[in-house]
Amino acid sequence: MRRVSKPLWAVLAWTAAVVCVGIPGAEAGEPVEQFLEGLRRRGWFDTALDYVEWARTSPLVGDEDKRGLDYQAAVTLVEGAKLQTDPQKRLAQLDQAREKFAAFVAAQPNHPAAAAAGLQLGNVLVERGKTFAEKAGRPSAGPDKESLLTQARELFGQAQQVFAEAEKKFQAEFDAKRNSSADKDPEQAQERREARLDLIQAQLFAAQTLSETAHTHPADSAPFKEHLQQAADKYGQIYEKYRRLLAGLYARMWQGRCYQELGNAKQALAYYQDLLAQPDDPQEFRTLKAKTLRLALQCWLEGEEPKLEEAGRRGEEWLRQARGDEDRTPEGLAIRWHLASAYERRASDSGVEPRQRKRLLADALKHTQFVAKYTGDNQKAAVQMAARLRNVEADISPTTLAEARDRGKLALDEYEGVLRRIAAASGTAEEAELPALREQADDARRRALDDFQLSLALRDDDTSQDDVNQVRYFLCYLFYRGGWYYDAAVLGQFVAQRYPESSAARSSAALAVAAWVQAYNEAPADQRQVETAQLVALAGQIAQKWPGDAEAEKAWMILADMALRSGDLPAAAEHLAHIAPQSPQRSLADLKAGQALWGAYLYAMRQPSESRPPNEKTQAWLTNAQTLLERGVAAAREKLAAGGEVDYTLAAAELSLAQLHLAASRFEQAVEVLERPGNGPLALAAAKHPVAQQGNLALEAHKAALQAYVAVQALDKAEATMAALDQLAAASGEGAAALTRIYVSLGRELQQQVTRLKEAGNAEALDRVLKSFEVFLDKVAGRAEGNTFSSLNWVAETYLGLGSGLEGGQNSSPQAGRYLEKAAKTFQTLRDRIAKEPAFAPQPDAAVSVTLRLARCERLLGAHPQALELLVSVLKSRPAMLDAQFTAAETLQAAGKKDPANYLKAIQGDRLAKKKDGATVNIIWGWRKLIAAVQGKSEFRETFYDAYHHLAESLLEYGLTGPAGEKSKNLQAARAVIEQLARTDPALAEGPWSARYDALLKRIQQAQGQAPTGLKSMLQASTTAAGKP
Amino acid sequence: MNIMRNMLCLPSAALLLAAFVGTASGADAVRTVKGTINGAVESMTAQEVKLKRSDGREETVAVNAIRAIKYDGEPARLEAVRKAAAAGRYDDCLKTLGELDQEQIDRAEIQADLLYYRALATAKLALAGAGNLRDAGKVVRSFTDKHADNYHWLAATELLGDLFLAVGAHEPAFKEYDKLEQAPWDDYRLRAAIAKGGVLKAQKKYDEAAAAYDRVLQLTKDNPGKDEEAQEAIAAQALTATLGKVECLAEAGKPEEAVRLVEGVIAAASPEDSALNARAYNALGAALKKAGRAKEALLAYLHVEVLYSAQSQAHAEALRNLAELWSAANQPQRAAQALQTLQDRYGAK
């Protein structure tokens, strides 16, 4: 006979419930006991123990509840021990509980729970005894089996004594209170109720312990029957006394179970039937009835004359009336399990018609698969039975779409259940089962796929289109989960686009979006056009069909992120513009779009003017970037004020806003944004906020701050910012090299700003920038102490930036000349200092880089011979140094303006020198040799295009200013250079260099007296001539 | 649910049967594009079916309007055979036919129906690669030879033409399509013309084939149909002709034009027109492949795999292409799966 589990702890659970329900005017405030009971019921024992610790110091918990916390902790330990599979750990946990109960009783003998704690000490003995009995039942017990059983009996005997004494004590207390005038005094009435509750508990525990003792003997042995009969009699007495109480009814149920185990199913069923006839309310009665039905189903299934139909009928009736998640409770799962067994056994009856057999097996499979999804006593058996039933049922194929779909849904449920188990298994004892679980998941997924595909094949004229699309959605989901993203995308998109009114449309669209994103992520970076185009189309369709739908917004955000990652900033902003103004995503979209446009503007401004998008476009980017950033930042700041957390997106957006203010010469506003308490990028960096540690936020914030402080003449702050930059560079691990890079980039940014202001004709702002920087740079350069290589280098670079920005290709401005001279002077100071004190240089090649920068200054100042001398001095020791070769060729080309012969030198090289073998070579290579040196090397691609452009330009200039007789030949050579490159490198026509080459070619064509048709026209003409299609 | 309904219906069905005892074929049901006509089939030819309604009226139904005829006294599972054939489950079709006890069937029309569905399923599977084309031809030929007066005859003739075409016997295929062209209805004549275009295409005479399809398209424009049903039938033929033209364009080195055309066909077709869509997506896949747009081609063929796999011939074609394209996309596992499905379902290697 099957051993029925004996949930002793459950007695406490219901008594606790009765107590809670029964005490009127319970203390208001934190409902400690109910909450803990809820946590324990869900099996969250660790959380319950954490809560107990929290409650000890919480002002929300009353003193009375606080005094009971030790008791609650001990109860939690006992209940948690039940789920502990390792017997040793279980025993340890029970010991811990016993200590807590004992301490609680000793410390609080008058606490209302003290009596219950005394009983719990007995309960701990019972649980310990059960652990020994369980160990004895394991094959590993071997010869220790008897001694383990003896230990168990001893513990049960001790518990029995505890309960007997308690019963005696509680009976006396109850009698005493019964004889008092309790009816007139509510407090005494309550005390009497509690005394009776203690008494009932003691009696139930005693009966339960008798039953446990019986199970330490072989079934059908005399001691087994004797103890079980004693337990049945004891339960019978309790029932007779308390038949009007829930406790009495439980006693009846356990009495029935004793008879069931004694083989008297008829008697047991008689008791169970009485209980099943009880009303459904309150909820506690429903729980009792579910437990009783579980036992009754066993009787119907296991008797000599099984009543399978009765079992099926009663089980189905209960399931139909189940409320909430009742069918997933241990009782609900057991009822389903018995139902499945009943159906399977009925199906095996030879007298059953084939159709009925099929239905029975299908129902059995349905219930078994449900049980197999949830952790519980019957889960493993249910998994095995489901596999068995599937094999049988495979012979009976569904004949309609609905049948196949329903079977597919069961397989799908099973698949998801197994996936949940897989997810939860990591790091637990179930980890070893992962391979088997994965196999089971694959099997369930394959069956679900087969059934859904079959269901589509079984559609007929009567099938509704919505049903078909629902099945398609399930298939789509399975494709997605299986990593078949293109299949999922195709199917999901089909349903969403062709049947937008169907109930499956939105969810299919969502899956399609997710699938395209996955497909995009899996595709190689240069092969994502199809996925992007499909996502754009799908997002557009979702937004049009379901405006404001979260899926559409998700798709736009994803697309924007994709575009951002691939560097297509304008496209990112375009995608983000689709987010509705009222959407919760709008502020995030504003921030991202604003940054994207600001980034696009900066990138465009870094390009030579002929390669930039039209001015209206870049200005629109700038204006929109400001609007979006201000709006997004304002919304994000509001959220922050309402208690939100600052994140990287906001901090980065604030930085972009500050940079944007700088670019527009709104320096005070830039400072305000940077320093804004709480979320200003500089404030965050100063506070060492984790957000400021991400990316290069802190560095960029300080760079922006330095520019802003200099501009507003907050020179102390500017110096402090320089010191902070020093520290940041040191922290980067690269030290001075990093700092040099920072200052060089700052100088370039300043140069760009000056150029922009000059081009925009904003004389006032330009003057302010220049003057403020001059004051600060002079101050830094003139410091008696504290200057380092980096600080002086920054001064030089900044003057070079200011001078270059003003110079704009023509050394026409005296102001530019002054800055360039100051730059040259500072670079020269650096050279001299390094020559005098080599340790002053932060790295060995610092002198070379300073020399190159000085040569650049000299070239811009028009002092070409001096510049060339400096460059040759470098090239003599480093002949293959590309930077130096490039600058030297550039210098020769610039010198061509004074003497056209220099154009030829720029092309062909200059400064002959003898090698050791007597051969002569040019120290300065010139453009041709430089091109040959970098050609085909991807890392020098930009240098290659730049040098090629210079080559054509030099030829053009030489043609225009050189010997008149060679003009035509040189112009033709210039043109041929571009033509040759365009033909051999098709990327030129589409790439970022196309505008510059196009402009140069037009100049050449004009010089040749031809129409300036440009690059594309030339390419078309050459391909046509080549006879290509 | 069905079981319950059937059980509930048992007493009333028995009463009905009793009422019609004595009229051997009084419960025939002719399913047409407009609905079902109940009565007794009295005679039929390849072009029309005559039946007497239960109220005594006589009615003649043109074959091009008939979807199927359910005969009184036929085995219950014959209906399952028809459903399986309609859904492209030809394996199921043959399996169920094999389970029927044909010796118990006396009525000639039912025997003809059984033979027709056997021929249809065998031919369709062979066309998809699962079976011998010549053996299938023999089964179809046995039907067309024996049942020239059956309402399935024209469809069987077309099927025979398709089998000839598949083995490269272009002239015999042409002759079978000629027979189809003799039908008195526009949609059948258009079908025949389109099929003949297919023969020209198979002969690699792409310009002639395209011209044949253009003639069909012109005809459909000139004569769009008298009533709604006729208009629908002719519109479907126009889309099929366009597809034929698409295939010619792709072969003739104009894949981008082909893509534009076929996208129009897909947009105009009912998404549940499995036969047309399967062919259209395959045509789209082929054109995209020709245009060097491999990933988009893969997606086109995937439509056939996930949505229209009931079209066995088209499905097999899609699987062959998918195997190649998955492989090119560096997804060898998916390529192997496509080949496995091809092997499992159509026995193709």
ipTM for the predicted complex: 0.75
Beta-carbon contacts of A6 under 8 Å, excluding residues fewer than 6 positions away, are: A208, A211, A212
Residue A681's pLDDT is: 93
Residue B25's pLDDT is: 41
| Residue pair A193/A22 in contact by the 8 Å Cβ criterion | yes
Q: How far is CA A455 from CA A468, A472, B162, B338, in A?
A: 8, 10, 29, 21
Picking from A707, A666, A664, A702, the residue whose alpha carbon sits closest to that of residue A683 is A702
> Dihedrals φ, ψ of A769, to 5°?
-60, -50
Would you say residue A950 has pLDDT above 90? yes
Would you say residue B15 has pLDDT above 70? no
Picking from A107, A113, A154, the residue whose alpha carbon sits closest to that of residue A130 is A154
How many CB atoms lie under 10 A from the CB of residue B76? Answer: 7
Q: How far is A395 from chain B (nearest CA, A)?
A: 14
Q: From B268, which residue of chain A is nearest by alpha-carbon distance?
A: A498
More confident: B241 or A810? B241
More confident: B334 or B232? B334
The structure tokens listed for B8 are 């509930």
For the residues A940-969, what does the mean pLDDT come to?
Answer: 92
* Helix-helix angle B274-290:B228-251, to 10 degrees: 20
More confident: A1028 or A145? A145
Q: Quick one: pLDDT band at residue B3, thresholds 50, 70, 90?
A: very low
Residues of B with CB under 8 A from a CB of A: 1-3, 80, 83, 86-89, 271-272, 295-296, 298-299, 302-303, 305-307, 309-310, 334
Which of B34, B306, B331 to mutate against chain A (most A CBs within 10 Å)? B306
Judge: B299–A402 Cβ closer than 8 Å, yes or no. Answer: no
The structure tokens listed for A108 are 């609080």
Q: Which positions in chain B touch A479 (Cβ < 8 Å)?
A: 306
b (16+ CB within 10 A) / e for A255-274: bbbbbbbbeebebbbebbee
Burial class (CB in 10 A: 0-12, 13-18, 19+), A3: exposed
Q: From A455, which residue of chain B is nearest by alpha-carbon distance?
A: B87
For the residues B69-92, what does the mean pLDDT come to?
Answer: 87
Picking from B140, B130, B242, B139, the residue whose alpha carbon sits closest to that of residue B197 is B242
Q: Quick one: pLDDT band at residue A736, thresholds 50, 70, 90?
A: low
Indicate the DSSP class of residue A299.
H
| Residue pair A279/A9 in contact by the 8 Å Cβ criterion | no
More confident: A595 or A87? A595
Q: How far is A487 from chain B (nearest CA, A)?
A: 7
How many CB atoms lie under 10 A from the CB of residue A575? Answer: 27
Judge: B87–A491 Cβ closer than 8 Å, yes or no. Answer: no
d(CA A596, CA B345): 52
The structure tokens listed for A549 are 């739908």
Residue A494's pLDDT is: 95
Would you say residue A24 has pLDDT above 50? no
Residue B8's pLDDT is: 23
d(CA A409, CA A421): 18
Lowest mean pLDDT of A212-216, A424-428, A953-957, B10-14, name the range: B10-14
Q: How far is B88 from chain A (nearest CA, A)?
A: 8
A482 touches chain B (CB under 8 A): no
How many A-B residue pairs are in contact by the CB < 8 A criterion?
Answer: 47
Residue A145's pLDDT is: 84
Picking from A1015, A876, A887, the residue whose alpha carbon sits closest to that of residue A950 is A887
Would you say residue B11 has pLDDT above 50? no
> Dihedrals φ, ψ of A689, to 5°?
-65, 140
d(CA A574, CA A540): 12
Residue A902's pLDDT is: 95
Q: How far is B87 from chain A (nearest CA, A)?
A: 6
A498 touches chain B (CB under 8 A): yes
Q: Quick one: pLDDT band at residue B4, thresholds 50, 70, 90?
A: very low
* Stated pTM of the model: 0.52
Find the Cα–Cα–Cα–Cα dihedral A892, A897, A898, A900, rounded to 10°: 70
Q: From A491, which residue of chain B is nearest by alpha-carbon distance?
A: B306
Report the first-to-last Cα separation within chain B, whole angstroms. 42
Residue A351's pLDDT is: 83
Judge: B306–A459 Cβ closer than 8 Å, yes or no. Answer: no
Judge: B303–A490 Cβ closer than 8 Å, yes or no. Answer: yes
Q: Quick one: pLDDT band at residue A566, thresholds 50, 70, 90?
A: low
Residue A875's pLDDT is: 94
d(CA A1008, CA A1003): 9
Residue A183's pLDDT is: 57
Beta-carbon contacts of A231 under 8 Å, excluding residues fewer than 6 positions away, are: A207, A208, A210, A211, A214, A254, A258
Unique residue bearing structure tokens 């579980």:
A294
Residue B6's pLDDT is: 26
Q: Quick one: pLDDT band at residue B211, thresholds 50, 70, 90?
A: very high
d(CA A952, CA A948): 6
Q: How far is CA A550 from CA A573, A580, A684, in A?
A: 18, 10, 33
Q: What is the CA radius of gyration of chain A?
A: 43
A458 touches chain B (CB under 8 A): yes
Tell me which residue in A457, A458, A498 faces B271 most closely, judged by beta carbons: A498
| Residue pair B92/B82 in contact by the 8 Å Cβ criterion | no
Beta-carbon contacts of B290 under 8 Å, excluding residues fewer than 6 positions away, are: B250, B251, B253, B255, B258
| Strand pairing category for B28-32 and B66-70 | antiparallel
Strands ordered across the beta sheet of B36-44: B58-62, B48-53, B36-44, B28-32, B66-70
The structure tokens listed for A119 are 């009983």
Residue A182's pLDDT is: 52
Count how many Cα atoms sit within 13 Å of the Cα of residue A664 in the half-sphere of its side chain.
17
The DSSP element (H or E) to which A910 belongs, if any, is strand A910-914
The structure tokens listed for A849 are 């880089």
Q: How far is CA A629 from CA A622, A659, A689, A874, in A?
A: 10, 11, 22, 47
Q: Quick one: pLDDT band at residue A916, thresholds 50, 70, 90?
A: confident
d(CA A149, CA A213): 9
For the residues A215-235, what does the mean pLDDT come to?
Answer: 93
Judge: B88–A457 Cβ closer than 8 Å, yes or no. Answer: yes
Judge: A498–B299 Cβ closer than 8 Å, yes or no. Answer: no
- The pLDDT tens digits of the residues spanning A196-206 come to 888 898 899 99
Would you say residue A22 has pLDDT above 50? no
Would you say residue A360 has pLDDT above 80? yes
| Residue pair A770/A779 in contact by the 8 Å Cβ criterion | no
- The pLDDT tens digits of the residues spanning A805-859 come to 776 544 457 888 888 999 999 999 999 999 998 888 888 888 999 999 999 999 9
Would you say residue B337 has pLDDT above 60? yes
Tell me which residue in B2, B80, B295 faces A530 most closely, judged by beta carbons: B295
Q: From A479, which residue of chain B is nearest by alpha-carbon distance?
A: B306
Residue A376's pLDDT is: 75
- The pLDDT tens digits of the residues spanning A378-414 come to 877 887 787 777 766 555 567 778 878 888 888 898 8
d(CA A486, CA B337): 15
DSSP string, A953-1001: HHHHHHHHHS-GGGHHHHHHHHHHHHHHHHHH-THHHHSTTHHHHHHHH
Percent of chain A clearing pLDDT 70 (strictly above): 92
More confident: A972 or A423? A972
Judge: A486–B305 Cβ closer than 8 Å, yes or no. Answer: no
| Residue pair A651/A676 in contact by the 8 Å Cβ criterion | no
d(CA A545, CA A549): 9
Residue A65's pLDDT is: 81
Report the first-to-last Cα separation within chain A, whole angstroms. 88
DSSP string, A463-532: S-HHHHHHHHHHHHHHHHHTT-HHHHHHHHHHHHHH-TTSTTHHHHHHHHHHHHHHHHHHS-TTS-HHHH
Judge: B295–A458 Cβ closer than 8 Å, yes or no. Answer: no
Unique residue bearing structure tokens 């409320």:
A323
Largest separation between any pair of C-alpha atoms in chain A: 137
**Amino acid (1-letter code) at residue A446:** R
Q: Which positions in chain B touch A456 (Cβ < 8 Å)?
A: 310
